[in-house]
Chain A
């Protein structure tokens, strides 16, 4: 190292180079909003008032009345399709609100004929929500009135047909920055088993086909809209963001196409939200197991 470099490095070490408070605070807010690494969290906005009203209506009509009125229950059971479909209710709600912090977590319970699969979902959901509640109160103690935090959790029954059931859990956390996560649970009612993405096909090229299609859609969207950004060729950390896992989130849309869902920050900057890519059923039909070729059913 020459004298000039030594001189400059000496000057650099002597300069007052504390980072601005605004930047430091942003970093702390971001760190506070990170989920625990071993948690599969989801996120959503608080239930709209109309949805809450609808949930109350459903609760009264389909759960409360059948359990307090024998006549109503008997009549209810005589409606075959409804008897099969209504199997998700809110069993708990965790709520907290003050000037700085807010929590609203709905805990669903799945019940019905598919006992083991329903138990699996209920246990997993309970673990998730219990962890989030504990974390919220932990953050509440540590942050106090020096910052804001919020967490909202709700769920949606995406599909509930004769043969297929999908529950979507959504978690939204905010503490400075916001973060959104999803988790989809699927039950094949014919087999009574929990189904993952990897269970849909035995074809070795299934995942590669999905990833290729997603990348193509990403490129197309970016070509047509300069405001859209996906992390396709990130050479910085050598990470393939689009790489799907056997448990990757998905659902069937009303046309029977497969929709692949990504969490916030998973394949794009936060401003892109939670991207979804619809894979036409015609593209993967030959790869799907025979029982899943004609979804939804």
Chain B
């Protein structure tokens, strides 16, 4: 089993991905920080449940995601994950506005935001994303497809250049 120093090294290697996941669920830096902190404690406490050290990243991201969802549900701070499947953007979205990628992603609703950051920013596969978000591959692919279409629409000016 990995020791504390090794655990800390692994966490630092994954900190950006952890932040992406936590922020994608909460939309708040403060909440993301608290969630990541809680997730680190939970992971460390249950480190013996990590059977494959090579899967550390997926393992810790899954804990972060679960902790974030749990926190959101408890505090009712943000929209639930069960979204209107045909509405990807918030109400104040101006589709004619030219967005950079980060803004475009942040304006996606859940679960598309989390799926997009894991796929495009972390280069994870649909299967890996499914494990992290406690979903299945088909659902993740469907979410990616819908999110891709929306991103294509909002970024088409850049993409066509």
Chain A interface residues toward B at CB < 8 A:
4-5, 7-9, 11-12, 15, 17-20, 22-24, 26-27, 29-31, 34-37, 176-177, 179, 226-227, 229, 234-239, 241, 265-266, 269-270
- For B14, give the chain A residue with the smallest CB separation: A27
Q: Is the CB of A236 within 8 A of B74?
A: no
Task: Supply 8 further A-B pairs (C-beta < 8 A) apart from A27-B37, A31-B8, A237-B62.
Answer: A5-B120, A15-B101, A23-B32, A27-B40, A30-B41, A236-B63, A237-B46, A238-B49
What are 21 residue pairs bridging A and B, where the CB atoms are less than 8 Å apart in the complex?
A4-B152, A5-B148, A11-B100, A12-B101, A20-B19, A20-B29, A22-B29, A23-B29, A23-B36, A26-B33, A27-B12, A34-B8, A37-B44, A177-B37, A229-B70, A235-B66, A236-B134, A237-B59, A238-B49, A239-B49, A265-B45
Residues facing A in B144-161 (CB within 8 A) are: 148, 151-152, 155, 158-159
A238 to B59, CA, bound (A): 11
For this complex, into which size category does the number of interface residues on chain B fall? 35 or more
Closest Cβ of chain A: how far from B136's Cβ, in Å? 13
Question: Which residue of B4, B12, B30, B120 contacts A36 across the interface (Cβ within 8 Å)?
Answer: B4
Ranked nearest first, the 5 interchain pairs of A and B with the lowest CB-CB distance are: A236-B66, A26-B33, A19-B19, A30-B37, A11-B101
- List the A side residues contacting B47 at CB < 8 Å: 37
Chain B interface residues toward A at CB < 8 A:
1, 3-4, 7-8, 11-12, 15-16, 18-19, 29-30, 32-34, 36-38, 40-42, 44-47, 49-50, 59, 62-63, 65-66, 70, 74, 100-102, 120-121, 123, 134, 148, 151-152, 155, 158-159
Q: Is the CB of A17 within 8 A of B121?
A: yes
